[in-house]
Amino acid sequence: MHLVPFRYLTFIATAAIFVLSLFYYDHYWLPVLAGALTLLGISDLLQTKRALRRNYPILSHFRFFFESIRPEIRQYFLESDTEATPFSRSQRSIVYQRAKEQTDKRPFGTQLDVYEAGYEWINHSIAPAKVTGHDFRIEIGNHPDCPREKPYSASVFNISAMSFGALSANAILALNGGARSGGFMHDTGEGSISPYHRENGGDLVWEIGSGYFGCRNPDGTFSEERFVANASSEQVKMIELKMSQGAKPGHGGVLPGPKVTIEIATTRGVMVGEDCVSPAAHSAFSTPLEMLHFIDRLRTLSGGKPTGFKLAIGHPWEFFGIVKAMLATGITPDFIVVDGSEGGTGAAPVEFTDHVGTPLQEALVLVHNTLVGANLREKIKIGCSGKIITAFDIARLLALGADWCNSARGFMFALGCIQSQSCHTDRCPTGVATQDPQRQRALVVPDKIARVAHFHQNTMKALAELIAAAGLEHPQELRPHHLVRRISPNQVKLASALLPFLEAGQLLDPSQLPQLPPVFGLYWPKAQAESFKRLA
């Protein structure tokens, strides 16, 4: 509450000056100016479209003013619209425009240097296809060799994992309401299923981390009874076991006791006021074989709902060991979500943010290739997450092997996030990433539900136009040969030539290993289903 006077200081001071000037000032201009500003502040408090104005009446307009002239300041003195720190103004603007249903067209040509190494594009067709819709979906949990009771038809673009506690109640309400309105899925994050996830009835992917929040015993171990109670909800469509996340793989985390409110404690199944610990490793299993049996157990307990796992790629032999466990047991997850190291809404040590984990494109190609090489790709769908904003971001990753994409920060921008990077301070200026009731009240749920749904819908429309231009009818038809990357000012390569792509069953033939990329030839023989450690 001590923050309230600071946030409202400009409004309170202006109103006081207006009142005093009516009695103690002889000139007309001061009461007129102060009165106009006071009316502006009242308007800011009463309007429901912009959270920043509700939280910072009058003062927020200075930000909007400098933001409006920022392009000119940057153009001549600072930086370009395309410099990403971590998201560029250009990236944020496209989300805001699509969420608000404003025009997202740009004049005067690209701002990108098309001759710079790393520039990518999709080749178009001289005979574009006619794509009549944009509701692109895939079936998860429905392959011939392993029939499921409850397969799920998922959009190819969904909300990535963000927990209640990291995000405010109003943010969760808006995200889930937008997911229901737009017909896509909302990952709960490892903080479990809160009342705010349930209120609007949007499709949920229940993420279960090493803390087993929502399905834990008092000592922090997995509780079968509590898992069944949550997993049996009709709203829960899929179960996702979190092995690691892109922002801080192998790290774990702690929510300090003072931040563990009654709501958070009830949602997660922990004690109010006590530290809420997410261990670095799981206690329910310790080997790839045990992990696969645990996944199968979760699938059975949930009544046959699609069940899989999420991970950031680290030591390649550990993932290879999981795949060898699939071959040994015959147990396959319904899906794998690959989280790139560039992902992550949560705060993390800078060393982890900058230097731990594999970037998404390399991680995705490794997972896709391994499943193809082990003859398992047709049985397992692949999702991915990590700095996904535009339809081209989605198309690029689908071409490299993903079946669908998740976005966290993209949907935060749709809620009104301004990238203040104060998520870990509880002082989020727009009410998205805070538990402060005064701050989060600025986020008006019905307005943000519409924005979340619009961002998804307009991104899907852009994806439809993109694949039609490439002569395709569905994003699942995208392949590496559709994607071109510049590797030097005078040299380009198709992604299919630049990145290694395995053929079906190659990993199962020892004679093929010497011909494969070094990561497979070196580490596949050393991976083992019985342990995450590699053979010497």
pLDDT along the chain (536 residues), means of 10: 60 79 72 83 85 84 70 53 76 94 87 90 93 94 69 97 92 98 96 96 97 94 97 97 81 74 91 85 96 96 96 95 97 96 72 83 96 96 96 97 96 92 82 88 94 98 96 95 91 81 92 91 96 91
- Separation CA 280–CA 248 (nearest Å): 10
Structure pTM?
0.86
Please choose, from the candidates 13, 10, 12, the residue with its C-alpha nearest in 3D space to the C-alpha of residue 58: 10
Q: Which pLDDT belongs to residue 85?
A: 72
CA pair distance 322, 311, nearest whole angstrom = 12
Q: How many CB atoms lie within 10 A of CB 225?
A: 9
Please tell me the predicted confidence (pLDDT) of residue 75. Answer: 42
Residue 129 CB-density burial (10 A; 0-12 exposed, 13-18 middle, 19+ buried): middle
pLDDT at 76: 44
Element (H, E) at 52: helix 51-55
Query: What is the distance between the alpha carbons of residues 337 and 242, in angstroms, rounded to a whole number?
Result: 9
**Residue spans of alpha helices (H) in 418-530:** 437-440, 445-469, 495-498, 518-523
Instruction: Tell me which residue has tokens 């391994």.
Output: 370
333 in Cβ contact with 295 (< 8 Å): yes
Mark 443-470 as b/e (b = at least 16 C-beta within 10 Å).
bbbebbbbbbbbbbbbbbbbbbebbbeb
Neighbouring residues of 238: CB distance < 8 A, sequence distance ≥ 6 = 140, 141, 152, 154, 185, 205, 206, 305, 306, 307, 308, 334, 335
**Residue 284 has what pLDDT?**
96
CA 1 from chain center: how many Å?
A: 31
pLDDT of residue 2: 46
pLDDT of residue 20: 77
Cβ atoms 201, 212 nearer than 8 A: no
Contact between 333 and 308 (Cβ < 8 Å): yes
Cα of first residue to Cα of last residue in the chain, in angstroms, is 58
Per-residue tokens: 445: 């749920």
Q: CA 251, CA 403: separation in Å to the nearest integer?
A: 28
Closest CA to 95 of 389, 526, 319: 389
Predicted local confidence at residue 4, as pLDDT: 52
Residue in 161, 104, 96, 68 with CA at minimum distance from that of residue 415: 96
Q: Assign 364 to helix, strand or coil.
A: helix
Provide the pairing of β-strand 276-278 with 253-255: antiparallel
Alpha-carbon span 503 to 234, nearest angstrom: 39
